[in-house]
Amino acid sequence: MAGYLPKPVSEFHKIPNARIAIIAAMWHPQCVDAMIARAQNELMALDVRPEDISVHKIPGSLELPFAARCLFESDASLDAIIAFGVVLKGSTTHDDSVIQTVVDGFSRVSDRFHKPVINEVIGVNTIDDARARADDSIANKGVEAVFAVSELLHWKKSCLLDISDAA
- The pLDDT tens digits along the chain (167 residues) read 345 799 999 999 999 999 999 999 999 999 999 999 999 999 999 999 999 999 999 999 999 999 999 999 999 999 999 999 999 997 777 888 999 999 999 999 999 999 999 999 999 999 999 999 999 999 999 999 999 999 999 999 988 766 555 55
Cα end-to-end distance, the chain, whole Å? 44
* Residue from 13, 28, 56, 94 carrying the catalytic annotation: 94
Q: Is the pTM of this model over 0.95?
A: no
**Can you give the pLDDT at residue 90?**
78
Task: Report whether 67 contacts 58 (CB < 8 A).
Answer: yes
To the query of whether residue 94 is one of the catalytic residues in this protein, the response is yes
- φ/ψ (deg, to 5) at 102: -65, -45
E strands, 76-154, in order: 80-88, 117-124
